[in-house]
Structure 1
Amino acid sequence: MAPTAGAVEPQSATLSFDCGSFGSGTATLTAAQNGTSATIQVSTSAITAPVNVAAGSVRSTLTLTKNGSGTTTFTGNRNPAIPSGSPVSTGPLTGTVAAGDSLVGKSLKIVVFGITVNCTATSAQSPGPFVF
């Protein structure tokens, strides 16, 4: 028998990001878990694509505060095609979790066409941390 997938609660959360001269806005994080592997999908209005962006051309790193003190990262270079002027969506970003981990979004780094955009969370994650 295959092990059952772990449950993460909540499955979706929002928070605000400030991306400097690239803008600011809200982001929706959608989490899923399978054992010690987890994924987080990010969709944010904080950054819009200045030109059409091909699928798979955005490199992203989402840093989350882990259990109130340390940090953990979720990374990936998967994204759907993003039309010019549309909000950036990236993921699923992958990371490793342990039972009981509590994660809250801290920062987001996106690299597209060699341009790095660094975003910092400016609000609390709502409705609360992801608990795995």
Structure 2
Amino acid sequence: MRVKRIGSGAAVLAGALAVTGLALAPSAVAVAPTTATVTASCGLFGGGAATLTATQSGTSATITFTSTAVTAPIQISANSIASTLTMANSTGSARVFTGTTNPLMPIGSPITVGPLNGTVASGDSLNFLGGSLKMVVFGITVTCTTSTTQLPGPFVFD
């Protein structure tokens, strides 16, 4: 009888560990592609090639915007640009990414904002074309847009 209890207890423990392992396992979701390029027009900041970099963890996602062609017209302190990135979504409502993360940028430095945080759903297909990046710097709003689709294609989220 004691053997049965030990065997039953071991089976329950193994089952509990298996369930815990599944609950704690990292989700296997990903965005593809992880980087895309666009030609951005950003008014006062300039315009030209820009790179968007995306990451995903479940329904949370981040996107970073970087451009050597779009430059800081004045020195910009770290974490001082309030940014709102709106991405067109071919499967539904536009997705919005926000944040105030940026490096220190001396005059003439390439612009980098992000990672900007947002929420996505499985199957979202996001493109900068049809969206915009609004940056508020020292109370001045700078808006970046594009007239061409991002390459190699939209960000598709699992």
Contact 1:24 1:45 in 2 (8 A): no
* 2:136 matched residue in structure 1: 111
* 2:108 is the alignment partner of 1:85: yes
Q: Which amino acid in structure 1 is aligned with residue 156 of structure 2?
A: V
Q: Residue 102 of structure 1: which of 121, 125, 149 is its match?
A: 125
- Find the aligned partners of 1:63 and 1:45 in 2 and give their Cα distance: 21
Q: Deviations over 1:20-62 (max 9, x none)?
A: 3442212100000000000001102453112221110011111
Identity %: 56
* 2:72 is the alignment partner of 1:16: no
Q: Relative to total residues, which structure has the larger helix share, 1 or 2?
A: 2
Q: Residue 145 of structure 2: which of 117, 120, 128 is its match?
A: 120
The count of aligned residue pairs is 132
Contact 1:8 1:33 in 2 (8 A): yes
Q: Which amino acid in structure 1 is aligned with residue 51 of structure 2?
A: T
- Find the aligned partners of 2:59 and 2:77 in 1 and give their Cα distance: 30
- Find the aligned partners of 1:15 and 1:115 in 2 and give their Cα distance: 23
SS in 1 for 2:94: strand
The structural deviation recorded for 1:68 is 5.3
Alignment RMSD, CA only?
A: 1.5
Q: Which amino acid in structure 2 is aligned with residue 94 of structure 1?
A: N
Where in structure 1 are there 5+ consecutive unaligned residues? none
Contact 1:5 1:33 in 2 (8 A): no
Q: Which amino acid in structure 1 is aligned with residue 31 of structure 2?
A: V
Which is worse superposed, 38-47 or 91-100? 38-47
Contact 2:91 2:124 in 1 (8 A): no
Q: Which amino acid in structure 2 is aligned with residue 85 of structure 1?
A: G
> Which one has the largest radius of gyration?
2
TM-score, length-scaled by structure 1: 0.92
SS in 2 for 1:70: coil
The structural deviation recorded for 1:3 is 3.5
* 2:55 is the alignment partner of 1:32: yes
